[in-house]
Amino acid sequence: MFLTDAHRKQIGAWLAGLSERVEWLQRLSQRSDPWEEDLTWRLAAERALHTSVEYVTDVSSLIIDALVMRDPGGYADIVKVLVEEQVLDAQWFESFAGIFDLRTKLLRDHAQVAANEVRQAVERYANQFSPFINTIQAYIK
């Protein structure tokens, strides 16, 4: 199979949505005030992180399905398939993979997510999405 124009259009739309969130997360990661102590900011950061991960996995899944790559076994494995197929860099994946544990915690154990944990995740992952975006944009061209 192959990537159609419809696939490319969908991926482009998802990457645009991801880019918006990434820009917001990057600005937030530069703030020195205790924004994470404000419930509204913390919830917004949690949602931005969660939806950013969803964009990454949605884009990856679409590419996997379109190019008939192996079936992944879970969220991290969805992205790992693209590493195995040499679409994404293995070192990038190693530094990014921890976000999948955070995603699970945000969805299944959200009452246990501490404010400082959200801040640390924003600071750690805000800049980790851009290499994904750039690599996928180059790949689909």
Tell me the pLDDT tens digit for each residue of 18-28.
999 999 999 99
- Is pTM beyond 0.85? Reply is yes
Tell me the pLDDT tens digit for each residue of 84-124.
999 999 999 999 999 999 999 999 999 999 999 999 999 99
pLDDT at 67: 85
Q: Which residues of 15-53 are buried (b: 16+ CB within 10 A; e: fewer)?
A: beebbebbebbeebbeeeeebbeeeebbebbbebbbebb
- Summarize the confidence of residues 32-53 as an average pLDDT: 98
Domain that holds residue 119: 5-140
pLDDT at 69: 66
Report CA-CA distances (Å) from 48 to 38, 42, 71, 131: 15, 10, 27, 17
Distance CA 17, CA 20 (A): 5
Average pLDDT of the chain?
95
- Summarize the confidence of residues 18-41 as an average pLDDT: 98
Q: What is the CATH number of the domain that holds 105?
A: 1.20.120.580
User: Residue 5: how many CB atoms within 10 A of its CB?
Assistant: 7
pLDDT at 71 over 90: no
The model's confidence at residue 141, banded by pLDDT at 50, 70 and 90, is confident
The model's confidence at residue 40, banded by pLDDT at 50, 70 and 90, is very high
Distance CA 9, CA 75 (A): 23
User: Residue 91: how many CB atoms within 10 A of its CB?
Assistant: 10
Count of domains in the chain?
A: 1
